[in-house]
Amino acid sequence: MDRMREDAYRAVREEVAVRADALWNVALRLHADPEYGFAEHRAAALLSGELERAGFAVQRGVAGMPTAFTARSGRGRPAVALLMEYDALPGLGHACGHNLIAAAGLGAALAVGAAQASGGSVLAVGTPAEEGGGGKALEVEAGVFDDVDAALMFHPGVHSWARAPLTAQVQYRVAFHGRAAHPTGNPTEGIDALAALVELFNVLGVVGRRLPDGSHVQGIVTHGGTATNIVPEYAEGLFGLRAATTGALRELAGRLRECAEGVARATGTTAEVERATVRYEHFQDSEVLSERFAAHLARAGITLSPPAPGVYLGSSDIGNVSTRVPAIHPFVAIMDEDGSDHTPEFAEAAASGRAREVLIAVTEALACTAVDVLRSGELRGEAWARHRAARGG
C-alpha cells in the first residue's frame, strides 16, 4: 500500500518535471497579459485549451460566467479539485501572483491526470474574479463542488503559512429617505436624510469599540444630497463589513441593520438596508490535507509554519468553497516578509527566479496531495469528519 503510494508520488513528480518549462511558460504568458475579473478570456482559453489537449473533458462558461470552466479527467468519486485563479489587478498586473496559482493548478491537474491509475476523477476548476467578483462563490452556488472530496490550491505570498487566516466579508448599502424642503424657507418641513446617514456613522463608531477581534465596519458616503439649498431627501452609504468568522459577520450585519433602523426611528427617516455584494465566507482550513501538503512541500526545502497568531488577512472566495468541501489554501513566499502583495514589487516577484522554483515545488506538492486524496479512503474520511465537525461547531 505504502509502496504503491510512493510509486504514485514518483509518477506525478516525473509528470511535473517533464512539464516544468511549459508550466513556467504559462505563468509568464499570463503575467505578460494581465486580464481583470470576469474578463480573463485569453487566460481561460489558454488554460482550458491545455487541459483539453491532454484529454480532459472541458466545460466552459460554467455558473453563468464566460471565463469560468471545469475540466475533468476520469469519472466519479473520489474526486479531487485543483483550483486556478487568473485575474489580475487594474493598473498593477499580476500583483497578487494569480498567474502562479493558475500554472500550479494546471500542472498538478495535468500530472495527476496523466499518472492516474486508479479510479475517481481529477477536476481542474477555472475560477474567475477572485479580486472582488467572487467567482468561486458563484461556482459553489451552481453546484460545481457538489461531487468533490477536496479542493486544493496555493497562493503566493510574503509568508510561508500552512493555512490562511482569511476573514469573512460583505458589503451593505444603507439608504435613508427623508423629505426635501428649503432649508431657510420652510426648515421645519424638511427631514434630513444626510443627517441620518451621518448619525449612523457616529453610532457605528461607538459600536465599533465593542466588536470582537477581527470584526470591523468601514463606510463611505455614496450619495449625500444634490444642492445646499435643499434639505437632502435621500442619502446613501456603502459599508464594508469584515469578521473573523462567517457567524460573526452575520451578527455584524444584524447590528448594522439595528443601528440603521434605530437612527431612522430617531430621525424620522426610513432606512433601507441591503446586501450589495457576494458574501465571502471565512476560510476553514482542512488541517489533515494542509498537513499532507506541507509534508510534500518540505521535500523541496520549503517549510510552512502556522500563521502568526492574531493576524487576520483579507477575504477570498476560497472561503465559500471551504465551507462546502475540505479545502486548502496555503501561502508560499515568493518574496521576503517586509514586502506586500498588491504592489508593483510583488508583481515583479511573480515572474522571478524564486517564483519559478516555488511554482515547480508547489505543483509537485499539490499533485502528491491530490494523489493522497484519490488513494486514501482513510484520509478522505478523516477530512470529511473534521469538516463536518467544524461546520457543526
Backbone phi, psi, residue 14, to 5°: -65, -40
Give me Rg for the CA atoms of the chain: 24
Q: Which is nearer to Zn ion, 96 or 302 (CB)?
A: 96
Q: Residue 31 CB, nearest distance to Zn ion (Å)?
A: 14
By CB under 5 A, is residue 129 in contact with Zn ion?
Answer: no
Q: Which is nearer to Zn ion, 79 or 347 (CB)?
A: 347
Quick one: which of 350, 369, 339 has its CA closest to 96? 350
The one segment of 94-102, 145-153, 163-171, 178-186 that binds Zn ion by CB under 5 A: 94-102
Q: What residues have CB less than 8 Å from 198, skipping those under 6 apart? A: none
CA dihedral 305, 310, 311, 315 (to 10 degrees): 110
Q: Which is nearer to Zn ion, 70 or 127 (CB)?
A: 127
Task: Give, in degrees to the nearest 5, the angle at Cα 149 between 287 and 70.
Answer: 120
Q: Residue 136 CB, nearest distance to Zn ion (Å)?
A: 12
Q: Residue 187 CB, nearest distance to Zn ion (Å)?
A: 48
Q: Residue 149 CB, nearest distance to Zn ion (Å)?
A: 24
**What element of type H or E holds 292?**
helix 287-298
For the packed helices 353-375 and 98-115, what is the interaxial angle rounded to 10 degrees?
40
Q: Which is nearer to Zn ion, 98 or 380 (CB)?
A: 98
Contact assessment for residue 382 and residue 132, using Cβ atoms and an 8 Å cutoff = no
Q: Residue 87 CB, nearest distance to Zn ion (Å)?
A: 8
Quick one: which of 238, 38, 29, 243 has its CA closest to 130? 38
Quick one: which of 302, 312, 364, 363 has its CA closest to 333? 302
Q: Residue 328 is which amino acid?
A: I
The span from the CA of 217 to the CA of 256, in Å, is 9
The span from the CA of 252 to the CA of 242, in Å, is 8
Quick one: which of 110, 174, 163 has its CA closest to 289? 163
By CB under 5 A, is residue 197 in contact with Zn ion?
Answer: no
Contact assessment for residue 102 and residue 33, using Cβ atoms and an 8 Å cutoff = no
**Coil, helix or strand for 391?**
helix
The one segment of 25-33, 96-104, 142-150, 172-180 that binds Zn ion by CB under 5 A: 96-104
**Residue 349 has what DSSP assignment?**
H
Q: Residue 97 CB, nearest distance to Zn ion (Å)?
A: 7
Q: Residue 316 CB, nearest distance to Zn ion (Å)?
A: 7
Q: Which is nearer to Zn ion, 317 or 364 (CB)?
A: 317
**Coil, helix or strand for 365?**
helix
Q: Which is nearer to Zn ion, 96 or 365 (CB)?
A: 96
The one segment of 2-10, 59-67, 95-103, 348-356 that binds Zn ion by CB under 5 A: 95-103
Binding string, 50-89, against Zn ion, x = CB under 5 A? ----------------------------------------
Q: Which is nearer to Zn ion, 96 or 260 (CB)?
A: 96
By CB under 5 A, is residue 153 in contact with Zn ion?
Answer: no
Q: Which is nearer to Zn ion, 56 or 86 (CB)?
A: 86
Q: Residue 43 is which amino acid?
A: A
Q: Which is nearer to Zn ion, 89 or 198 (CB)?
A: 89
* Neighbour-count burial of 240, counting CB atoms closer than 10 A to its CB (0-12 exposed, 13-18 middle, 19+ buried): middle
Q: Residue 211 CB, nearest distance to Zn ion (Å)?
A: 25
Q: Residue 342 CB, nearest distance to Zn ion (Å)?
A: 6
By CB under 5 A, is residue 349 in contact with Zn ion?
Answer: no
Q: Residue 95 CB, nearest distance to Zn ion (Å)?
A: 7
**What element of type H or E holds 387?**
helix 377-392
Contact assessment for residue 231 and residue 191, using Cβ atoms and an 8 Å cutoff = yes
Q: Considering only residues 8, 65, 96, 158, which one is a binding residue for Zn ion as defined by CB under 5 A? A: 96
The one segment of 92-100, 293-301, 344-352, 376-384 that binds Zn ion by CB under 5 A: 92-100
Q: By beta-carbon distance, which residue lies closest to Zn ion?
A: 96
Q: Residue 101 CB, nearest distance to Zn ion (Å)?
A: 7
Number of residues that bind Zn ion (CB under 5 A): 1
The one segment of 27-35, 93-101, 140-148, 196-204 that binds Zn ion by CB under 5 A: 93-101
Q: Which is nearer to Zn ion, 47 or 198 (CB)?
A: 47
Residues that bind Zn ion (CB under 5 A): 96
